[in-house]
Amino acid sequence: MAIQILGTTALVTGANRGIGRALVDALLERGAAKVYATARRPEALADLAARFGDRVVPLRLDVTQPDDIRAVADRATDVRLLINNAGALAKLGGEFTDKGWIQAARDEFEVNVLGAWALTQALAPVLQQKPGATVANISSVAGLAAFPSGASYSASKAALRSLTQSTRAMLGPHGVNVAGVYPGPIDTDMARPFEMAKTSPSAAANAILDGIEAGQEDIFPDPMAKQAGALFMRDPKALEQQFAATVAVEDS
């Protein structure tokens, strides 16, 4: 049973900017009863609380901190929709032998993979009690095939895709839907170094929610994502070769 946004309670990580903030807006505009909007600095969410009143509950959450995760799980006992959106991009560009890749990977995996895993674990007992409960993990087209200029980030998003599949297999029998979301370039701070056509966060957020309400397991919320997803389903090696041929982005 797919979830309906109207009247539901959601939790969005990384809600202070980019896709996360757009998701909070879109959820509330579609009639979500409550959205727990989390960020490392919840004061950055004050304007959302001012606009939407007690339908927005700002919470402090650094997904790499177990104490934060426990506090959020203790508070958000009515969640039916969890969107793991918090993400980190620590390095762009560099030769394969650049030692900086390893530390970047540690930082990115902590947020992009382990943070999402830990929060989902903490909220799983709650979600399993809610009919139509859904987990949506925001991965990337870089999780389908690697961009060499973002080698460590791509690896983390591929790991999140694998985690999404495992979560689906393990929580699905308990009535929890699990979706993987694979955006292309979205017009956010994180995508600023990339010179290409970008989709607005609002358009991406609404496409993500459309996919969640439709019960889709793989959501491609923008034109590039749709093209990459179709090619991946048809010929994964061709997508790998296409992404490998992209021009490397200089270190910012």
For residue 111, being part of any structural domain is answered with yes
For residue 249, being part of any structural domain is answered with no
36 assigned to active site: no
Which whole number is the average pLDDT over 198-222? 95
Taking Cα atoms as reference points, which of 180, 182, 220, 205 lies closest to residue 28?
205
d(CA 216, CA 30): 18
pLDDT at 196: 63
For residue 29, being part of any structural domain is answered with yes
Find the domain containing 56 and state its range: 9-244
CA of residue 133 relative to chain centroid, distance: 17
Identify which has the larger pLDDT, 76 or 191: 76
Residue of 52, 153, 182, 243 marked active site: 153
For residue 250, being part of any structural domain is answered with no
For residue 230, being part of any structural domain is answered with yes
For residue 54, being part of any structural domain is answered with yes
For residue 238, being part of any structural domain is answered with yes
The model's pLDDT over 17-34, given as tens digits with 9 standing for 90+, comes to 999 999 999 999 999 999
Beta strands at 134-138 and 177-181: parallel, antiparallel or unpaired = parallel
**19: CATH:** 3.40.50.720
The model's pLDDT over 53-62, given as tens digits with 9 standing for 90+, comes to 999 999 999 9
Total tally of structural domains belonging to the chain:
1
For residue 252, being part of any structural domain is answered with no
Tokens standing for residue 120? 């989902």
d(CA 24, CA 229): 25
Task: Identify whether the C-beta of residue 133 lies closer than 8 Å to the C-beta of residue 127.
Answer: yes
Portion of the chain with pLDDT greater than 70, in percent: 94
